[in-house]
Amino acid sequence: MLTMISRIEEVAKSIDQRQVECFLTEINRAERIFVLGAGRSGFVAKSFGMRLMHLGMTAYVVGETVTPAFHKGDTLVAFSGSGKTKSVLEACQTTQQIGGTICLITGTRSSPMADLATCVVHLQTDEESIHTGSDHFDLRQLKGEHRSMSQPSTPLGTLFETSAMIFADSIVSALIELKNCSIDDIIHRYSNMQ
């Protein structure tokens, strides 16, 4: 856990604050927000969408049966470590064609999705971006690339998803302050049918 925490701290320190400000501005002014990710990134997207709903914002998860049509002026928040995942890229292309705003949370600085996005938050979770010493052993462990008798620190490389989840939660905290939300307002919106 300490190894993971130290790497996530490096990722947090490397985030460009201008990207964070852009993201906060777009989310705060959006009338309707659609969230999307594939695989584990999809779980992070759903968690973020749920928290936006708790704040009283209109948020939908792309692909759910109750999600309405996306319209011009809506905002798509896409989570993609690679910035190339086909289903997420196609949604970004559709968003652009309709005239919506794309906010991308990614682990890759340059990608097809980044080229389409209005706002990109780059979480430096790739090997070239994080300084970890001469042999990069710890990073290979985090990404699940090191082959040894022991298990990797984060099986199958969850450094991006873990960092993205923490980033999304920090955005929620910032929005609570910006919107002056009370705990009672938030708790009132928690699901009572589970």
Q: How far apart are CA 118 and CA 102, in angstroms?
A: 5
Q: Are residues 83 and 104 in contact, defined by beta-carbon separation less than 8 angstroms?
A: yes
pTM of the model as a whole:
0.83
Lowest mean pLDDT among 23-32, 83-92, 122-131, 145-154: 145-154
13-54 pLDDT, tens digit per residue, is 999 999 999 999 999 999 999 999 999 999 999 999 999 999
Residue of 45, 116, 47 whose CA lies nearest to 81: 45
What value does the mean pLDDT take over residues 83-108? Answer: 96
Cα gap 151→181, rounded to integer Å? 42
Query: Using one digit for the tens of pLDDT, what is the confidence trace for 46-93?
Result: 999 999 999 999 999 999 999 999 999 999 999 999 999 999 999 999
Confidence (pLDDT) at 98: 97
101 versus 192: the higher-pLDDT residue is: 101
pLDDT band at 151 (very low <50, low <70, confident <90, very high): very low
The mean predicted confidence, pLDDT, of the chain is: 86
Q: What's the Cα-to-Cα distance from 22 to each of 12, 90, 120, 136, 183, rounded to whole Å? A: 16, 23, 8, 32, 26
Residue 129 pLDDT: 44
